[in-house]
Structure 1
Amino acid sequence: MKYFLSLLFVFSFTGPVLAQNEKPKLVVGIVVDQMRYDYLTRFYDKYGDGGFKRMMNEGFNCKNNHFNYVPTYTGPGHASIYTGTTPKYHGIISNNWYDKETKKTVYCAGDDSVIAVGTDSELERMSPHRMKTTTFADENRLFTQSKGKTIGISIKDRGAILPAGHSANAAYWFRGKTEGYFVSSSYYMESLPKWVNKFNKSKVASSYLKPWNTLYDISTYTESGEDLNAFEGGFKGKETATFPYDLKTLSKLNGNFDILKATPYGNSIVADFAIEALKAEQLGKDNITDVLTVSFSSTDYVGHNFGVNSKEIEDTYIRLDKDLKRFFEALDAQVGVGEYTVFLTADHGAVDVPSYLKTLKIPAGYLNKTERKQQFNAFLMKTYGTIDVVENTSNNQIFLNKEKLKELDLDLNDVQNTIVNEQITYPHISKAYTATTMSSVNFTDGIEALLQKGFNQKRSGDIILVHDPAYISYGKTGSTHGSGLNYDTHVPLLFFGKGIHKGKTLKKTEVTDIAPTISALLGISFPNFAIGKPLEFVLE
């Protein structure tokens, strides 16, 4: 009630309506892929005043912001932030998942009914059709009778497509390989706009195939580990994962332009393109609110390759801070200071490299899936006389073959429970639950509640597994994510700009609160299955 009384309303025969000049002309949603919350505090002294610090000093900092479901992956993360709900409802249960109807693995943004635009590649046939709910950008399009534009931009297709929603004017993502272009699909358009073609032909991507060295003297990077260590992956063609990296030379063995994705220059290209989109699309130039979603994905590639404690990750965030500064300055110039609203968060965090944690005697390690599969198959043969009762194992889930169960006259619930009782005895599995439990028991806290919010009855498996903290299925170098533990769930949430209160809080907030908060700011309907709540203390 306090929030609504504090807003300026004008009245007409239709009742109270938020005055147009009280709304931001542009809402910018920024997702930094794989950004742990402590990157704000760890690298704070290395940041300038115009990027992360500007948001913290001029806006509102939610310091205890978390994902409220498992799994914490890129596709579900981007969908949840913008829909205000979780995989249980929006249906993006992973980046890829086993489809129980087609008996095939599907990709969260893949769509064979569309064609790529801007490239001949069959790999860029993308749309948001697998996302079942609306985003706040969709609701803004509905509210403004499609007069408010929505554009999504990212290195990753899913990072551009899912946030922009179903009704977006455009989504653009980076096609690496030998092309180095931003592309789209026929879901949005028949051909790329002139300004996108001009950007692609300008060879901006080529300009970033240059040496990557630390921005500042490497000896000052005291917030990260030694440059030479045993915990980092690196690039093909270079013996050690140490600075500097000659990207032009290394690109030949590392996917040509794809190498840029795993460097801070991938973020720079996204910033370049987003600034060009601001100008060319005239975003925020009238009183009808537009939405621009920008996902900086290179942080994720760098984290996977080098780990969260690397010099490379520190340099990537120092450089991202500078890219944010020039992006905000472009917003000031194009839209106007105080005329736009920005939020910044992440789609998930990441675990410290387990092999590094082990050197510090912190419990951590790697899962031996080969041994586990052999043991499980032996159990299935002994118990059921066949391994065919299991149809697929992926994303820490086991999918049962319903036809085989009927053929063998087996009860589904009995098989689910029997497998749970078997799996829980395996090394480094801490919990196991059946789909029946997820569908019938109401969990309110703990990992069980997170699993339940990530469980989609039509798309998820029959058995859900949880591993011990910091035990991952991954290589011995680099970091990954996906769990419901704090290193994966605790991510930044910063707001600043029009309608945003200046302050900070340690109250727990959840990523599903973001979309309702922006919807409340705009005076529009919440996304149609939003479960989050507006953060009243964030809004003026």
Structure 2
Amino acid sequence: MNRKKMLMSLAMVILAISGAVAQNKPNNNASDATIARPKLVVGIIVDQMRWDYLYRFYNVYEPNGGFKRLLNQGFSCDNTLMPYLPTVTAVGHTCVYTGSVPTIAGITGNNWYDNNTHKTVYCTDDASVSTVGSTTKAAGEMSPRNLWVTTITDELRLATNFKSKTIGLSIKDRGAILPAGHAANAAYWYDYQTGNFISSTYYMNQLPEWLTAFNNKKWVDTYYEKNWSPLLPKATYEALCDADVNDYESQPFGKDQKGFPYNLEKFKGKDYSKIASTPYANELLENLAETTIANEQLGKGNATDFLAVSFSSTDYIGHAFGPNSWEVLDVYARLDRTLGKFFDYLDKTIGKNQYTVFLTADHAGAQIPEFLAKHNIPGGRADDPDIKRSLNQYLAEQFHQPNLINAVWEFDVYLNHNLIDSLQLNQAAIEKSIAQYLQKDDRVLTVVNKAKAATASLPVNIREMIVNGYTPKRSGDLQIIMKSGVMDAGKTGMSHGVAYTYDTHIPLLFYGWGIQKGHLNRTTYMTDISATIAALLKIQMPSGCIGQPITEAYRNN
């Protein structure tokens, strides 16, 4: 072979090798053959986190804790709202991960009355599967089968030909299952009877060895030994909070424990449910998140992985003590440090700027009505079972038939259609009678026919929230709109679920790979979150998504 031909052959070999190397090296340019993506996406939901906690508690957060790191190094959307009713846990987790609303996604509440089967349904109920990891039968009969659309986690699995791993973790079953999606590798949630994390046969036939080993350490007993005393100086709570002890707060640790410090040692080995109402449930979940990442080798493969983490104890504590309590301030101060520890772990194991995080809430929460009353601010209580009982009594007098109401969930009134049809009663007359009766109640603002909500005499955003929350198979017929401050709750504590901003204004922060530093004041919506992550990853958005990417959050990689 002459010299010229030898040089040409050598050049061709070099070009071939260069091309192969170019296809296998990490990409940061859209023009490269391999699409640039982070190694890991971590979705964090803080259950019942009001947006204002970012700033009300700002001065107690650590410089390198979770919240200041997200606020000062990430991108914050300061006016993110929820566009549907009811504003409750299952619907919020669904919306974050699907970009969809109940009318499309099918998750219309934590519970609903199924108008076809005539039964009350829990959002993740699935009698076709069994518990894995516990003898507590009902705790694991759960799956995402009631969800009608795909999640962003499903779409990531589809985009990578199922090479991505997606796992959901939470104390609450619905907080793990709905974000993890239909095609998840796993979802793990807490069994309040045994103190273990469990799953269902929808995902696996037995727990992985590493999770069994984690459960065998009986972490909850270790946390109980710490008891619960205030983390911060007493003066900090006095400056930012209501009194420590109030009659209108609930007592999740027993009637003998009405304020700090709380004795938790008494529950060791006996009652594993109490951990959920302490900050230690967040620490337990973060511990599990680190253990999951290490043992499942998340972020170590050739495809982007996704870990969905939902912190639930903020919701339990919020319900019991309210937004202005010492306990709520304490749990957020501790969660800040827990998140800081988690981000340090991600920096060390995945690599700084090699992962993307978003943090949001599934809903916010109202002030305790009696706390508002002390300050001359309107509010009140109304209980769904009481509403159902009084309506059935009233309608029996008017129409001479009992049980014309099947259910009331989150101020959503379900008529007994079978009974009404069989007796050939006038449904319009019944609905009119219900509206007239309820509007005599000073707590009620108005009553809306959900099928006709688009033309109701209400501000457009509230009309749209009712429309977005309505699907005939799983929704009621009439939506009661209470006055501001009136909540569906018992005699103590607080709740959420309505259309007012104290329930609908949530935090939304992005951080890490692909995200620039900054903040945004224009209105964004919970439905935009999955669209934003989909665009960042260059994958299809979830099938029912109605949101738009928040493009201001992106930076060039």
Q: Report the TM range for the smaller structure's normalisation.
A: over 0.9
Q: TM-score, normalised by structure 1?
A: 0.93
Other-structure match for 1:60: 75
Compared with structure 1, are the counterparts of its residues 245 and 525 closer, same or farther at alpha carbon in structure 2 (3 Å cutoff)? same
Other-structure match for 1:175: 191
What per-residue deviation string (whole Å, max 9, x for no partner) do you get for residues 212-235 of structure 1? 101122222221122122232224
Letter in 2 for 1:242: G
Letter in 1 for 2:58: Y
Aligned counterpart in structure 2 of residue 128 of structure 1, from 138, 144, 147: 144
Contact 1:26–1:339 at 8 Å: present in 2 too?
A: yes
Contact 2:189–2:199 at 8 Å: present in 1 too?
A: yes
Q: CA deviation at 1:390?
A: 2.6
Letter in 2 for 1:120: T
Aligned counterpart in structure 2 of residue 469 of structure 1, from 475, 479, 484: 484
Letter in 2 for 1:527: P
Other-structure match for 2:14: none
Alpha-carbon distance between aligned partners in 1 of 2:492 and 2:406, rounded to the nearest angstrom: 31
Other-structure match for 1:402: 417
Output aligned runs, 1:488-499, within 5 Å: 488-499=503-514
Output aligned runs, 1:84-95, within 5 Å: 84-95=99-110
What per-residue deviation string (whole Å, max 9, x for no partner) do you get for residues 418-459 of structure 1? 433433333311121113313788998231211111112221
Other-structure match for 2:88: 73
Other-structure match for 2:264: 247
Point out where structure 1 has 5 or more consecutive residues left out of the alignment: 1-6, 13-18
1:10 is the counterpart of 2:47: no
Letter in 2 for 1:243: F
Name which one, 1 or 2, has greater alpha-carbon Rg: 2
Contact 1:117–1:184 at 8 Å: present in 2 too?
A: yes
Contact 1:33–1:348 at 8 Å: present in 2 too?
A: yes
Aligned counterpart in structure 2 of residue 118 of structure 1, from 133, 136, 144: 133
Identity percentage of aligned residues: 42
Q: TM-score, normalised by structure 2?
A: 0.90
Alpha-carbon distance between aligned partners in 1 of 2:71 and 2:387, rounded to the nearest angstrom: 46
Other-structure match for 1:412: 427
Other-structure match for 1:526: 541
Other-structure match for 2:402: 387
Aligned counterpart in structure 1 of residue 356 of structure 2, from 341, 361, 379: 341
Dislocated runs of 4+, deviation >6 Å: 368-371, 439-444
Alpha-carbon distance between aligned partners in 2 of 1:109 and 1:385, rounded to the nearest angstrom: 37
Alpha-carbon distance between aligned partners in 2 of 1:291 and 1:442, rounded to the nearest angstrom: 43
Other-structure match for 1:143: 159
Contact 1:163–1:293 at 8 Å: present in 2 too?
A: yes
Q: CA deviation at 1:406?
A: 2.4
Compared with structure 1, are the counterparts of its residues 230 and 392 closer, same or farther at alpha carbon in structure 2 (3 Å cutoff)? closer
Other-structure match for 1:34: 48
Letter in 2 for 1:489: T
Output aligned runs, 1:437-516, within 5 Å: 437-438=452-453, 445-516=460-531
Q: CA deviation at 1:33?
A: 0.3
Compared with structure 1, are the counterparts of its residues 368 and 148 closer, same or farther at alpha carbon in structure 2 (3 Å cutoff)? closer
Alpha-carbon distance between aligned partners in 2 of 1:364 and 1:44, rounded to the nearest angstrom: 27
What per-residue deviation string (whole Å, max 9, x for no partner) do you get for residues 12-32 of structure 1? 6xxxxxx43x21111100000
State the superposition RMSD in angstroms. Answer: 2.0
Alpha-carbon distance between aligned partners in 2 of 1:443 and 1:135, rounded to the nearest angstrom: 32
Aligned counterpart in structure 2 of residue 213 of structure 1, from 214, 229, 238: 229
Contact 2:87–2:498 at 8 Å: present in 1 too?
A: yes
What per-residue deviation string (whole Å, max 9, x for no partner) do you get for residues 70-98 of structure 1? 11111001000000011111111111111
Aligned counterpart in structure 2 of residue 48 of structure 1, from 43, 62, 69: 62
Alpha-carbon distance between aligned partners in 2 of 1:379 and 1:207, rounded to the nearest angstrom: 53
Alpha-carbon distance between aligned partners in 2 of 1:340 and 1:434, rounded to the nearest angstrom: 46
Alpha-carbon distance between aligned partners in 2 of 1:49 and 1:220, rounded to the nearest angstrom: 17
Compared with structure 1, are the counterparts of its residues 242 and 250 closer, same or farther at alpha carbon in structure 2 (3 Å cutoff)? farther
Alpha-carbon distance between aligned partners in 2 of 1:220 and 1:486, rounded to the nearest angstrom: 27
Q: CA deviation at 1:307?
A: 1.2
Alpha-carbon distance between aligned partners in 2 of 1:300 and 1:322, rounded to the nearest angstrom: 18
Match of 1:133, SS?
Answer: coil
Alpha-carbon distance between aligned partners in 2 of 1:129 and 1:163, rounded to the nearest angstrom: 13
> Which moves more between the two structures, 381-390 or 98-107?
381-390
> Which moves more between the two structures, 362-371 or 445-454?
362-371
Contact 1:355–1:476 at 8 Å: present in 2 too?
A: no
Alpha-carbon distance between aligned partners in 2 of 1:98 and 1:195, rounded to the nearest angstrom: 39
Q: CA deviation at 1:328?
A: 0.6
